[in-house]
Chain A
Amino acid sequence: MKILSIIIKDFKTILSDKQAIIITMLMPLILMTILSMALKGSFIGSDDLKVEKINIAVVKKYNENNDNAVFEKSMKERLGIDFDSIEVNPEKIFFKDFLESDKVSELLSYIVEEENEAIKLLNEGRVSAVVVLPDKFIYDMKINLLTPFRNNVNIKVLTHADKTVAGEIVKSVMNSYINSMSSIIIGKNVLIESVSANDLGESGFDNMEDIMEGMSSLMEGINVDIEKAIVEGKRSVNSAEYYTVAMMSMFILFAAGQGGRMLLEEKDNQTYQRMIIADITKTHVLAGKFFTVFLIASIQIIIMILFSYFALKVRWTDFSMVFLLSITSAFAVAGLGIFIGSLTYKMGNYKLANTFENVIIQIMALLGGSFFPVDLLPEIVQKFSFLSLNGVALKGFLKIILGYSLADISENILILAVTGALLTILGIIIFSKEESANVKHSKITSVKA
């Protein structure tokens, strides 16, 4: 009853603060609407749940015939082996076996263009990226695939500034290609070493054809790892879906910020002391603050989910999972609020709470992907994204939108629950160590003890 009274009072106090309402409730709705509209083109998701293909242009900077001729001549001279009979075609591997494979062709559709034309298409936004296959691509790939030697092959991906996510997906797809080729090259090297070790001579290279014949099936086995770009997508998210969860996971942190001020405000207002005199324990006070933050975060989530559902047509797929993740997110935020609140109380000023609201939330938002997808950040920065509660919540909510199962989001739920519990415990320890009242005294002029 007493805790409930504290919650109701705190809630009314917050509701009476128009600025707080604007920041915590209204601002995220405005931002999620603006961002989802403004960045529509940057996301590959579409409203009919089908993956929209990304158009790319491929530039061939090599000369196939020339490369083949140079390769054969070079091999005869250096190794004394005639590769003429071995049918290995890097161009076929790249275009037919890779780009036209079922999985990749679901995502990308390509045209081959001259470099200038390709860049023009990119600048006009008609393609999302340009993939440049370098000079001597065929020669270098054959060296890599058929000989013990290894040459660098630098495939360049040029992306459009307004289509960063699509660009990242293309980069990710190209990385998958390179990774798969590396696996094949390693397999080849093992074979060559075995041939040398067993002194099988030229006859050993007969098996090379078998390896290359298996190339097509290997290519089919390539898992196009676009998880990072579109968050482990079973389908892609559109900008409305992304920025709904991005803003939601960021703005619930402001509830923690409000919670961070509450304890010290009570002390400064002398209402905390009055509560202690009314036989309200520290546990009551702390529990009241915890549930107040929890309630604010929960209401924020409910409002944002309803708004996104009706106004932005976001499909939440499974509301029972949304409920579960929302509760856990609000719990983690409440724990964070108690932790900051206790530290702020201990410090006796609002520097920490202010820093949290003005700096730390922004950093967490950046690291967690609330401003833009984490994969667009430098890799070194990405490594710190685990520090952001909003990032964990964001990924969880996106997974739900993408149709993942409860098991798939269990890690997110667990991280949020454990973090929330740990922060709450830390907050309780810090607060309980403080002298009960810290009464504000008038200037003491008394004698030294």
Chain B
Amino acid sequence: MLKVENLYKNYGNIRAVDGISFEVKRGEVFGLLGPNGAGKSTTISIISTLIPPTKGEIIFEGESIFKNPKNIRQKLGVVPQDIALYPTLSGYENLRFWGNLYGLKGQELKQRINETADIIGLHERLKDKVEKYSGGMKRRLNIGAALLHMPELLIMDEPTVGIDPQSRSHILDTVLKLNDRGITIIYTTHYMEEAENLCSRICIMDEGKIIASGTQQELVELVKEKTQINIKLDSINESIIDGLKNIPGIIDAKIDEDIIILYGENGDILLAQIIAKVSEHKNRIRSIDVKKPNLEAVFLHLTGKALRD
């Protein structure tokens, strides 16, 4: 459906996007994961035809979006990172305005507004001014404004930033619902749990580059040898550390203050042996935490820094 080829974007001597290429298939939820400043929003702005790239090509349904931006604009819905609404107008007035801009009017527009209100769950509050909405409601209306014209491709740029867990959960459900209706979604986030829960394929970006891409499974494969087990004991001494290190399957061990950090291939199997080893040394476990490989770990593995840095 959408093919990004060798895309660059420079701002002065700063390179925001550094030669990225990826493909979005029809019907999937495609994730762009990366920390703030990774170049996700710039990439999305270019796909949305808001800014031209310095170099590169984007093909939408076989046609360059730079040569014919109208084609993608008609089929594209964008949920910007910021709330792009008119706070002094009501939710209904906002939806009607954005519907009008997509050429909707009369009965059709009313029907679309109703459908959209159902999807975003704001029927009861549509007559209220947006400035009176909670952060989560504003985010939902922000999504609704991008849905009125029934886009084929929906770009959502960090749609859950700064909202409460309940609203966040509602939005994530909405994303899945929209995908079920056949809408292809490009979803950017720096929350790895969102990417894990929503996306069928993920590109991890950092400093303008794609550092890894694939399904979640494929990405986790990159670091599967490193299940991390954090243990807090009553006391730490050389013999217990040596004992734990010698458990078959443990690759590495280190101490961070009062926590022993162990790395191994399969956390579940190792756990029983670790508990046995601690008992053997007449020590007691105060807490134990098994961290299975996830996208956070992938990012850490690939860049040496945490995703939220």
- CA distance in complex: A444, B41 (Å): 10
Asked if B15 and A447 make an inter-chain contact with CB atoms under 8 angstroms apart, the answer reads yes
Asked if A437 and B84 make an inter-chain contact with CB atoms under 8 angstroms apart, the answer reads no
Residue interface mask A255-292, B partner, CB < 8 A = 1: 00000000000000111011111111000000000000
- CA distance in complex: A376, B80 (Å): 55
- CA distance in complex: A61, B86 (Å): 73
**Given A276-B50, A440-B82, also A5-B16 (CB < 8 A):** no
Asked if A274 and B84 make an inter-chain contact with CB atoms under 8 angstroms apart, the answer reads yes
**Given A276-B49, A436-B50, also A446-B36 (CB < 8 A):** no
Q: Does B66 contact A (CB under 8 A)?
A: no
**Given A12-B93, A16-B89, A270-B80, also A446-B41 (CB < 8 A):** no
Residue interface mask A433-449, B partner, CB < 8 A = 1: 00111011111111111
Cβ of B89: which chain A residues have Cβ within 8 Å of it? 9, 12-13, 16
Please pick, from B18, B39, B74, the residue contacting A279 in the complex, using a CB distance under 8 A: B74
Q: Does B224 contact A (CB under 8 A)?
A: no
Asked if A278 and B102 make an inter-chain contact with CB atoms under 8 angstroms apart, the answer reads yes
Asked if B49 and A443 make an inter-chain contact with CB atoms under 8 angstroms apart, the answer reads no
Interface 9-residue window, one of B6-14, B226-234, B237-245? B6-14
Asked if B50 and A439 make an inter-chain contact with CB atoms under 8 angstroms apart, the answer reads yes
Residue interface mask B27-53, A partner, CB < 8 A = 1: 000000000111101100100111100
Q: Does B120 contact A (CB under 8 A)?
A: no
Q: Does B85 contact A (CB under 8 A)?
A: yes
Residue interface mask A6-39, B partner, CB < 8 A = 1: 0011001100110000000000000000000000
Asked if A269 and B45 make an inter-chain contact with CB atoms under 8 angstroms apart, the answer reads no
Cβ of A16: which chain B residues have Cβ within 8 Å of it? 88-89, 129
- CA distance in complex: A5, B100 (Å): 7
For the complex formed, measure the closest distance between the CB of B200 and the CB atoms of chain A, giving whole angstroms: 24
- CA distance in complex: A269, B15 (Å): 25
- CA distance in complex: A271, B105 (Å): 20
**Given A271-B84, A445-B37, also A439-B51 (CB < 8 A):** yes
**Given A269-B86, A447-B207, A449-B14, also A441-B74 (CB < 8 A):** no
For the complex formed, measure the closest distance between the CB of B92 and the CB atoms of chain A, giving whole angstroms: 11
Please pick, from A12, A17, A273, the residue contacting B84 in the complex, using a CB distance under 8 A: A273
Q: Does B70 contact A (CB under 8 A)?
A: yes
CB contacts under 8 Å to B, within A393-449, are 435-437, 439-449
- CA distance in complex: A385, B37 (Å): 52
Cβ of B41: which chain A residues have Cβ within 8 Å of it? 439, 441-442
- CA distance in complex: A56, B54 (Å): 78
Which of A8, A274, A440, A443 has the most C-beta atoms of chain B within 10 angstroms of its own C-beta?
A274
Q: Does B97 contact A (CB under 8 A)?
A: yes
- CA distance in complex: A442, B161 (Å): 13
Asked if A277 and B37 make an inter-chain contact with CB atoms under 8 angstroms apart, the answer reads no
Residue of B nearest to A269 (CB): B84
Q: Does B73 contact A (CB under 8 A)?
A: yes
Q: Does A2 contact B (CB under 8 A)?
A: yes
CB contacts under 8 Å to B, within A223-276, are 269-271, 273-276
Cβ of B159: which chain A residues have Cβ within 8 Å of it? none
Cβ of A17: which chain B residues have Cβ within 8 Å of it? 88
Cβ of A277: which chain B residues have Cβ within 8 Å of it? 48-50, 73, 76, 78
Asked if B50 and A270 make an inter-chain contact with CB atoms under 8 angstroms apart, the answer reads no
Cβ of A79: which chain B residues have Cβ within 8 Å of it? none
Q: Does A1 contact B (CB under 8 A)?
A: yes
For the complex formed, measure the closest distance between the CB of A83 and the CB atoms of chain B, giving whole angstroms: 83
Asked if B51 and A446 make an inter-chain contact with CB atoms under 8 angstroms apart, the answer reads no
Asked if B88 and A280 make an inter-chain contact with CB atoms under 8 angstroms apart, the answer reads no
Asked if A280 and B101 make an inter-chain contact with CB atoms under 8 angstroms apart, the answer reads yes
Residue interface mask A146-186, B partner, CB < 8 A = 1: 00000000000000000000000000000000000000000
Asked if A444 and B11 make an inter-chain contact with CB atoms under 8 angstroms apart, the answer reads yes
- CA distance in complex: A449, B54 (Å): 11
Asked if A271 and B86 make an inter-chain contact with CB atoms under 8 angstroms apart, the answer reads yes
- CA distance in complex: A449, B10 (Å): 7
Q: Does B267 contact A (CB under 8 A)?
A: no
For the complex formed, measure the closest distance between the CB of A295 and the CB atoms of chain B, giving whole angstroms: 17
- CA distance in complex: A173, B149 (Å): 72
Cβ of B86: which chain A residues have Cβ within 8 Å of it? 9, 13, 269, 271
Please pick, from B38, B39, B51, B101, the residue contacting A278 in the complex, using a CB distance under 8 A: B101
Cβ of A13: which chain B residues have Cβ within 8 Å of it? 86, 88-89
Cβ of A276: which chain B residues have Cβ within 8 Å of it? 49-50
Which of B11, B54, B100 has the most C-beta atoms of chain A within 10 angstroms of its own C-beta?
B100
**Given A5-B101, A436-B51, also A443-B10 (CB < 8 A):** no
Closest 3 CB pairs of A and B: A270-B84, A437-B50, A445-B37
A-side residues, CB < 8 A to B, are: 1-2, 5, 8-9, 12-13, 16-17, 269-271, 273-280, 435-437, 439-449
Q: List 18 A-B contacts (CB under 8 A).
A: A1-B103, A2-B100, A16-B89, A16-B129, A17-B88, A270-B83, A273-B80, A275-B101, A276-B50, A277-B76, A279-B73, A279-B74, A436-B50, A442-B81, A445-B37, A446-B39, A448-B13, A449-B54
